[in-house]
Amino acid sequence: MVKVALDAMGGDHAPEETVKGAVEAAKTGGREVVLVGDEGRIRAALRGADLPIVHCTQAIDMDEHPGAAYRRKKDSSIVVGLNLVKKGEVSAFVSAGNSGAVMASSLFVLGRLGGAERPALGTVFPTASGKAFILDVGANADCRPGHLLQFAIMGSIYMEKVFGLRAPRVGILSVGEEETKGNQLVLESHPLLKQSGLNFVGNVEGKDVPKGIADVVVTDGFTGNVAIKVTEGISEFLLGMVKEAIASRLRYKLAGLVLKPALKLAAKRLDYTEYGGAPLLGVDGVSIVAHGRSNAKAIASALQVAGHAVEVGLVEALKQGLRERKTIEENGGISHGTPD
CA distances from 228 to 136, 138, 225 (A): 10, 10, 5
Selected binder of its own copies within 30, 191, 240, 337 (CB under 8 A): 240
Q: Are strands 120-127 and 130-135 parallel, antiparallel or unpaired?
A: antiparallel
The answer to whether 168 contacts its own copies (rule: CB under 8 A) is no
Of the two residues 53 and 185, which places its CB atom closer to its own copies in the complex?
185
With contacts defined by CB under 8 A, name the span among 31-39, 44-52, 104-112, 176-184 that binds its own copies: 176-184
Of the two residues 180 and 331, which places its CB atom closer to its own copies in the complex?
180
Could you tell me the smallest distance in angstroms from the CB atom of residue 173 to its own copies?
6
Of the two residues 100 and 321, which places its CB atom closer to its own copies in the complex?
100
Task: Count the residues of the shown chain that bind its own copies, applying the rule CB under 8 A.
Answer: 65
Could you tell me the smallest distance in angstroms from the CB atom of residue 10 to its own copies?
17
Could you tell me the smallest distance in angstroms from the CB atom of residue 124 to its own copies?
14
Please tell me the distance from the alpha carbon of residue 236 to that of residue 240, in angstroms, as a whole number: 6
Selected binder of its own copies within 61, 234, 316, 323 (CB under 8 A): 234
With contacts defined by CB under 8 A, name the span among 31-39, 43-51, 73-81, 265-273 that binds its own copies: 265-273
Please tell me the distance from the alpha carbon of residue 176 to that of residue 87, in angstroms, as a whole number: 47
Could you tell me the smallest distance in angstroms from the CB atom of residue 3 to its own copies?
33
Please tell me the distance from the alpha carbon of residue 265 to that of residue 239, in angstroms, as a whole number: 12
The sheet with strand 130-135 has its strands ordered as 53-55, 31-37, 2-7, 92-95, 286-289, 278-281, 120-127, 130-135, 216-218, 169-174, 199-205
Residues 35, 41, 43: CA angle, nearest 5 degrees: 65
Instruction: Give the sign of the dihedral formed by CA 61, CA 279, CA 285, CA 311.
Output: positive
Q: Give the number of residues written for the chain.
A: 340
Confirm if 78 and 98 have CB atoms less than 8 A apart.
yes
Residues 266, 269, 270: CA angle, nearest 5 degrees: 105
The answer to whether 235 contacts its own copies (rule: CB under 8 A) is yes
Looking at residues 214 to 233 of the shown chain, list those that interact with its own copies (rule: CB under 8 A).
219-223, 225-233
Contacting positions for its own copies (CB under 8 A): 63, 65, 126-128, 138, 141-142, 173-175, 178, 180, 182-184, 186, 205-211, 219-223, 225-242, 244-246, 248-249, 251-252, 254-256, 258-259, 262-263, 265-266, 269-270
